[in-house]
A and B are shown apart, each in its own frame.
Chain A
Amino acid sequence: MPDIENSTPILFAALLGVILLPLFVAPLALALGSRLGRRTGYVAMAAPLLALGLISWIACKWPDGGQRIVSVPWVPSLGVNLSFIIDGLSLFYGFVISGIGVLVCWYAAQYFEDRQKSLGWFFACLLAFMTSMLGAVFSNNLVLLFAFWELTGIASFLLIGFSHSDEKARLGARRALLVTVATGLCLLAGLIMLGLLGQTYEINVLLERAGALSQAGGPLLTAAGVLILIGAFGKSAQFPFQFWLPGAMAAPTPVSAYLHSATMVKLGVFLTARMFPIFGTLEFWMPMVAGVGLFTMLLGAFLALRANDLKAILAYSTVSQLGFLIGFYGLGSAQGVRFDFVHVISHVFYKGSLFMIAGIIDHSTGIRDVRKLGGLGKLMPLTAGAALIATAALAGVPLTTGFISKEIMLAEVGKLADAQPIGWVFFGMVALSAIFTVAFASRLFLGVFTGKKPTDLHFHAPGLVLQLPPILLAAAALVFGIFPGALGNVLDRLSVSGLHAPAEGYLALWHGFNRELLASTIILIAGTLLYLWAKKTAWRWAVTPRWLQFDQAFDRGVDGLGGFSKKLTLALKADWPPAYLPIVIFFLLVIVFGAVIANAGSLKDISTLELKFDPLRTFVAALITLGLGAVLLLRRWTSQLVALSISGFFLTFYFVLYHAPDLAMTQILVESASVVMILVLVSRFSSASRAGTRFEFTFTWPQIVRAVLALGMGLLGTGLVLFAELNKHPDPVGPRMRELSKPLAEGTNAVNTILVDFRAFDTMGEITVLLIAALAGIGLMMRYKRSSGGKDAMSAPGFLLGGKNKKP
């Protein structure tokens, strides 16, 4: 059972408010969207603003370094509770998500053009995304965490694919969804394993048992840890999943700024931090987290150096920085890490700012290619100033938070290198990627804001309100870079026991002459030299090698899967029942009759059956047989279909005779609907094609086989009826349902109470399947064909391929 300590209703209400506020504002944004246009953003801004206020209030009530749990049981039978954790980690991320959320809503309200459509939908998705992010970081239950985790995936899919008429946006959204959901499945498996090992799904209890868990160790715990890390890596775009993030750049810029600086990709970092106390001391942790993280850092920096699109550079640099953030958790000693929040907040400051600046440049020039830009500094000095600070922070120039963050990282890697030789490899990776980062950061600023303005560049000045959010973020990067102590004090208050090492040392701009400073200086000089060399060669080599992008291979894999399932479907001849029905029927007969023969001893003798003659039923049975006989005798297949429907209608009488009015009504309605459908279809065929041949038995092998199978099925049906009559269940469910219908379900129609009450879960599933079937049916009837030719993996199997199937 979860500890419900300090659980106060007010706190719970406040926390629920934080998480659900954006969700409640979402319908409002959706409703106002068409009327207010882009100004819906200001309405949407209310939600993160209020959430920010509530989080601040909660933080004030919260004892430093402590942990408060608020919990209500949700599905107690499965150990799933609506339980939320308030500690330094969740509060920190709560602040980041809602704080940047305010700025992003503000920015988006200015960014979009007035003619942009469905902005209500956009802001609703953004708010839904916010809710799922906040829910994920505050969750104290592994299952709840996973639910919110997947919701972020779905919301981000909608956001990335917002401009869905653009092929790139759809592909990017699909990739992001497939990668994060597939890795999310690994996460689910890992979380469940962890929950079983720790005998609880409550995170706070698991954290308490962390020491005992990791001491016990075992392959299962390692497997759980690896699976959870795969989930985190997928979300945070770590190698080998890094390819979805650049593809997601097709999203509108406010989305990129939010998803890729502050939120979605940070979820993996968050999870790594959350799981650190449990897995941090295990053997696999350091090589996997640090190795993958720092390798991704290097790969991302290398790719960013070779990209030309503003947003692509930023995307790859995000990949690189995420590697940095995650890798940092792999370096820490068993006591925990320190200053990890500095990296996160610093990245939020400059990356959020840079994405918004890229959006402003795109907004005012319509160009995102660095090679075609230049000289914008004079035209928009404010943005240029913000960009200067942000790129400096990216490059790790002193006086910015980026410098502080890089110093800490270098110190940490240096410490590891002193202890283990592999640390030098990590040190080299960090240094090399930092050099790359300096080079492309210089290019970002110098290439866009200095130099000569290309003559064919159209420019219209951006509004001041649009420029304010990035300026605010850049200013924060500068202020906290100059006075890191203030940042350190705040972040130290948010430390979490188990994750964070006890406080020693402090954040400061100047730590004296030491190894980190030397390394920083060398990195800055080497980076500048690299930039100068690159400028001399005019970045001619700056083309991303296709083999490093992975996305094509991924798309080929997805297409291959489609192709495989199509081949399989064709091999099974799913579109030509006469090919597969005999096989199905044959095995059905073998299994059922096999079972009957095997259990022949225990069955009641058929001679004990009492035969009663009922004239009405016999009459109806004769009528049905008449209809079926007509199917065999009639010549045209259209008439055969009608005859079949007629026997279907006669079946209704049977239900009437057995006092089943519900079934009778359903049967009549279903039959009439299908008759109309059949007739509509029939009208499509020419009268010549409607003429068929009379059925004749010719004693060829295929016909004999089919006849045997058909007789067998008839025998099976009759046999089953007789068997059921002979071997009645001692406690049949029917009468009980009828008895309980009134007292339990408060209805007298047992059929209906079964459908909507006793077996409502079944009905729920059935209607969902019905909806899916309707959508699939519509897809089949669309009569669309892929025009691009070539691979046809996605087209419908069978009838579009023509010629490959046997004609009936």
Chain B
Amino acid sequence: MKKLDSFLLDAVLGLVFLLVNIVSIYLLLRGHNLPGGGFIGGLMTGMSFILLGLVRGWKDLQTEIPVEPLRTATIGVTIALFSGLLPVFRGDPFLTQYNFHATEVPLIGELHIGTPLLFDIGVFLLVCGMTVKLIIVLARSTSGLPPFSKEETHLYASVLEDPIEDAVKGKETPHAD
């Protein structure tokens, strides 16, 4: 898929990206009490990256994202698991949730926060990372680019295997990036 050549879209993109992510983090934080939560927030952030990819092109998106999405997803699961294992060390059952209440917090006032939020952050990171990774691979793969950068190919692909393009043409095609 080629990138969209629209000046307007390109110009407002940064603002839209910022706004969407503010909303998504807001949804994440309020999730326990009002509609929202990690899944919705994560999907929203994922969508904002998809938008970025559609406008700026998928090839650049991969290099622009500071962290590897798959790693984000893994970290997400780890955080969720950690929040579940935390009570085990205190002798409570797996996934017991703790809540803390503070009545006088500067600037905020009342604050109710608990380990469910940690769990939700894990879900957020997983959903976001997974969406971004899948869409990048899919988009690159369908637009004729190699699905992975060179380092990733080294990580994921077996040495017994070649990209299908290479196997068909019988010659090395230079990797992008």
**Contact between A767 and B143, CB atoms less than 8 A apart:** no
Given the contacts A673-B131, A761-B95, A774-B134, A756 and B38 also touching, CB distance less than 8 Å: yes
The CA-CA distance from A768 to B81 in the complex, in Å, is 10
Q: Is the C-beta of A196 less than 8 angstroms from some C-beta in chain B?
A: no
User: Closest CB-CB distance, A592 to chain B, in whole Å?
Assistant: 30
Which B residues are in CB contact (< 8 Å) with A785? 161-164, 167
Given the contacts A669-B47, A670-B43, A784-B157, A767 and B167 also touching, CB distance less than 8 Å: no
Within 8 A of B (CB), among A725-747: 745-747
| Closest residue on chain B to residue A72 by CB atoms | B91
Q: Is the C-beta of B14 less than 8 angstroms from some C-beta in chain A?
A: no
Q: Is the C-beta of A666 less than 8 angstroms from some C-beta in chain B?
A: yes
Of A26-34, A411-419, A678-686, the one touching chain B: A678-686
Given the contacts A676-B54, A681-B138, A781-B138, A756 and B74 also touching, CB distance less than 8 Å: no
Which B residues are in CB contact (< 8 Å) with A771? 73-74, 77, 126, 130
Q: Is the C-beta of B35 less than 8 angstroms from some C-beta in chain A?
A: yes
User: Closest CB-CB distance, B80 to chain A, in whole Å?
Assistant: 6
Of B5-13, B102-110, B117-125, the one touching chain A: B117-125
Q: Is the C-beta of A788 less than 8 angstroms from some C-beta in chain B?
A: yes
Q: Is the C-beta of A751 less than 8 angstroms from some C-beta in chain B?
A: yes
Q: Among the listed A677, A764, A778, which residue makes an inter-chain contact with B84, where contact means beta carbons less than 8 Å apart?
A: A764
* Most-contacted residue by chain B among A745, A777, A782, A788 (CB, 10 A): A782
**Contact between A752 and B32, CB atoms less than 8 A apart:** yes
| Closest residue on chain A to residue B44 by CB atoms | A669
Within 8 A of A (CB), among B45-76: 46-47, 50, 54, 70, 73-74, 76
Within 8 A of B (CB), among A749-763: 749, 751-753, 755-757, 760-761, 763
> Once A and B bind, how many residue pairs between them come within 8 Å at the CB atom?
182
**Contact between A764 and B138, CB atoms less than 8 A apart:** no
Which B residues are in CB contact (< 8 Å) with A167? 159
Given the contacts A661-B35, A752-B32, A774-B70, A781 and B147 also touching, CB distance less than 8 Å: yes
Q: Is the C-beta of A580 less than 8 angstroms from some C-beta in chain B?
A: no
| Closest residue on chain B to residue A669 by CB atoms | B43
**Contact between B164 and A784, CB atoms less than 8 A apart:** yes
**Contact between B163 and A783, CB atoms less than 8 A apart:** yes
Which A residues are in CB contact (< 8 Å) with B133? 774, 778
Q: Is the C-beta of A73 less than 8 angstroms from some C-beta in chain B?
A: yes
Q: Among the listed B39, B44, B141, which residue makes an inter-chain contact with A755, where contact means beta carbons less than 8 Å apart?
A: B39
**Contact between B131 and A748, CB atoms less than 8 A apart:** no
Which A residues are in CB contact (< 8 Å) with B80? 763-764, 767
Q: Is the C-beta of B171 less than 8 angstroms from some C-beta in chain A?
A: no
| Closest residue on chain A to residue B100 by CB atoms | A746
The CA-CA distance from A74 to B56 in the complex, in Å, is 52
- Interface size range on B against A: 35 or more
Which A residues are in CB contact (< 8 Å) with B157? 782, 784
Q: Is the C-beta of B26 less than 8 angstroms from some C-beta in chain A?
A: no
Q: Among the listed A666, A680, A761, A787, which residue makes an inter-chain contact with B40, where contact means beta carbons less than 8 Å apart?
A: A666
| Closest residue on chain B to residue A166 by CB atoms | B159
Given the contacts A767-B80, A778-B134, A785-B161, A749 and B126 also touching, CB distance less than 8 Å: no
Per DSSP, chain B at the interface is helix
**Contact between B1 and A683, CB atoms less than 8 A apart:** yes
Q: Is the C-beta of A603 less than 8 angstroms from some C-beta in chain B?
A: no
Q: Is the C-beta of B86 less than 8 angstroms from some C-beta in chain A?
A: no
Q: Among the listed B91, B142, B164, B165, which residue makes an inter-chain contact with A683, where contact means beta carbons less than 8 Å apart?
A: B142
The CA-CA distance from A779 to B35 in the complex, in Å, is 35
Q: Is the C-beta of A662 less than 8 angstroms from some C-beta in chain B?
A: yes
**Contact between A784 and B161, CB atoms less than 8 A apart:** yes
Which A residues are in CB contact (< 8 Å) with B126? 767, 770-771
The CA-CA distance from A666 to B46 in the complex, in Å, is 13
| Closest residue on chain B to residue A785 by CB atoms | B167
**Contact between A665 and B138, CB atoms less than 8 A apart:** no
The CA-CA distance from A795 to B131 in the complex, in Å, is 25
Q: Is the C-beta of A786 less than 8 angstroms from some C-beta in chain B?
A: yes
Q: Among the listed A661, A672, A757, A781, which residue makes an inter-chain contact with B141, where contact means beta carbons less than 8 Å apart?
A: A781
User: Closest CB-CB distance, B4 to chain A, in whole Å?
Assistant: 12
| Closest residue on chain B to residue A660 by CB atoms | B35
Which A residues are in CB contact (< 8 Å) with B156? 778-779, 782
**Contact between B135 and A680, CB atoms less than 8 A apart:** yes
Q: Among the listed A75, A684, A747, which residue makes an inter-chain contact with B143, where contact means beta carbons less than 8 Å apart?
A: A684
Within 8 A of B (CB), among A121-167: 165, 167
| Closest residue on chain B to residue A788 by CB atoms | B160
**Contact between A673 and B47, CB atoms less than 8 A apart:** yes
**Contact between B34 and A749, CB atoms less than 8 A apart:** yes
**Contact between A757 and B116, CB atoms less than 8 A apart:** yes
Which A residues are in CB contact (< 8 Å) with B148? 782
User: Closest CB-CB distance, A45 to chain B, in whole Å?
Assistant: 28
User: Closest CB-CB distance, B33 to chain A, in whole Å?
Assistant: 4
The CA-CA distance from A794 to B158 in the complex, in Å, is 11
Q: Is the C-beta of B149 less than 8 angstroms from some C-beta in chain A?
A: no
| Closest residue on chain A to residue B130 by CB atoms | A774
User: Closest CB-CB distance, A624 to chain B, in whole Å?
Assistant: 22
The CA-CA distance from A670 to B130 in the complex, in Å, is 13
The CA-CA distance from A764 to B38 in the complex, in Å, is 13
Which B residues are in CB contact (< 8 Å) with A683? 1-2, 142-143
User: Closest CB-CB distance, A650 to chain B, in whole Å?
Assistant: 19
Given the contacts A670-B43, A767-B122, A774-B133, A783 and B73 also touching, CB distance less than 8 Å: no
Given the contacts A666-B39, A785-B164, A676 and B50 also touching, CB distance less than 8 Å: yes
**Contact between A749 and B36, CB atoms less than 8 A apart:** yes
Which B residues are in CB contact (< 8 Å) with A761? 94-95
**Contact between A786 and B161, CB atoms less than 8 A apart:** yes
The CA-CA distance from A765 to B54 in the complex, in Å, is 32
User: Closest CB-CB distance, A364 to chain B, in whole Å?
Assistant: 29
Given the contacts A782-B148, A786-B160, A749 and B138 also touching, CB distance less than 8 Å: no
| Closest residue on chain A to residue B155 by CB atoms | A164
| Closest residue on chain A to residue B159 by CB atoms | A167
**Contact between A748 and B94, CB atoms less than 8 A apart:** no
* Most-contacted residue by chain B among A73, A676, A683, A783 (CB, 10 A): A783
User: Closest CB-CB distance, B94 to chain A, in whole Å?
Assistant: 7
5 contacts between A and B (CB under 8 A): A666-B39, A749-B31, A777-B134, A782-B137, A794-B160
Which 3 A/B pairs are nearest by Cβ-Cβ distance? A747-B32, A661-B35, A684-B142
* A residues apposed to B, CB below 8 Å: 72-75, 165, 167, 661-662, 665-666, 669-670, 672-673, 676-677, 679-681, 683-684, 745-749, 751-753, 755-757, 760-761, 763-764, 767-768, 770-771, 774-775, 777-779, 781-788, 794-795
Given A785-B161, A787-B160, 20 more contacts at CB 8 Å?
A665-B36, A669-B40, A673-B46, A677-B135, A680-B1, A680-B143, A745-B97, A752-B32, A752-B120, A756-B119, A764-B80, A764-B95, A767-B76, A767-B122, A771-B130, A774-B70, A774-B130, A778-B70, A781-B147, A784-B158
